[in-house]
Amino acid sequence: MKNLLLAFSLITLSLFSCNREASESVDQDRIFTEYELFYNANQDKTFARATFKFSNALGTKLELSQPSEVTFNGDLLTFNPVLAYYEKEYAGLVETGTFEWTDTEGNVFKNNIEIHSIDYANTIDTIDRSGSYELNFSGTPLEMLELVTVTINGENELDAQVFTTNDSGSQSIILSKSKLEKIGDGPGTIIMDRSYIPLIQESTNAGGILLGRYRPENQSIQLK
C-alpha cells in the first residue's frame, strides 16, 4: 500500500507546483513523466493529462519544446500554463487509451491505461462519528495495484479527512472513528476515487507514473 500511496501523493502534490521551464533545456533522458486518465461523474467528463518534470516526481515542471508533443488516442493534448500540464477533455467516460509522447530527439514512448469504475453500494444519509463506519462500494472487487480513497469534508474549515484502502478482494472501506470524530457536526460531502496505478510501460531512465482514476458522483451526508 505504501508504494501506491506514494505514487498517488506525488501526482496530487504536482498540482500545486507551477514553476516550469522548456524541455529542450534538459537532457531528454532525465524527463520524468506522469500520465493520468481521470473520469469525473460529477461533470460526466474524462480528462487525459500528461505532466513532464525534470529528473524525478518532485522536479521542475517542463513545457515541451518543438517538435516534442504528447497525444492521447491520437489527439493532441494542450498545455495548461496555469497548472503546467497537458490535457484534453472528453464528453462521457473514456475507459481506456494510449498516451504517446515524442521527445525533442524523436524518441517515442507509448503507455496504455484503463479506468476501473466504482460507485456507492447504497445511498448514505447519515454517518455517526462516535464509532467506525463501513462504507460499501459497488463494482469489481479491488485488485492488486488499485487504491480506493474516500475524502469526507465537513462544513468546518480544514476538517476534511482522507481514508484509503488497497485490500485485494475488498468491496468496502472502514472509516475509522479516530478520523471521523475530527469532522464537525452537520452537513458534509463524500468524495470517492478508485485509482489503478500500474507500472509505467515505456519511459526514460528517469521513470514515471501511470494512473487511471474513476470518481462517482459525490454524496451529500449528515454527520452527527
Residue ranges per domain, the chain?
2-116+197-215, 119-196+218-223
For residues 80 and 63, give the distance between their C-alpha atoms in angstroms, rounded to a whole number.
9
The predicted-structure confidence for 115-133, as pLDDT tens digits, reads as follows: 999 999 999 999 999 999 9
DSSP state of 34: E
Residue 2 has pLDDT above 90, yes or no: no
Q: Give the fold, CATH level 3, of 119-196+218-223.
A: Immunoglobulin-like (2.60.40)
- Where is 178: in which H helix or E strand? helix 177-180
Is there a common fold for 2-116+197-215 and 119-196+218-223?
yes
Omega before 67 cis (within 30°)?
A: yes
- Where is 180: in which H helix or E strand? helix 177-180
The predicted-structure confidence for 175-213, as pLDDT tens digits, reads as follows: 999 999 999 999 999 999 999 999 999 999 999 999 999
> What class is the 2-116+197-215 domain?
mainly beta
Strand order in the sheet with 108-114: 75-76, 69-72, 96-102, 108-114
pLDDT attached to residue 23: 85
pLDDT attached to residue 134: 97
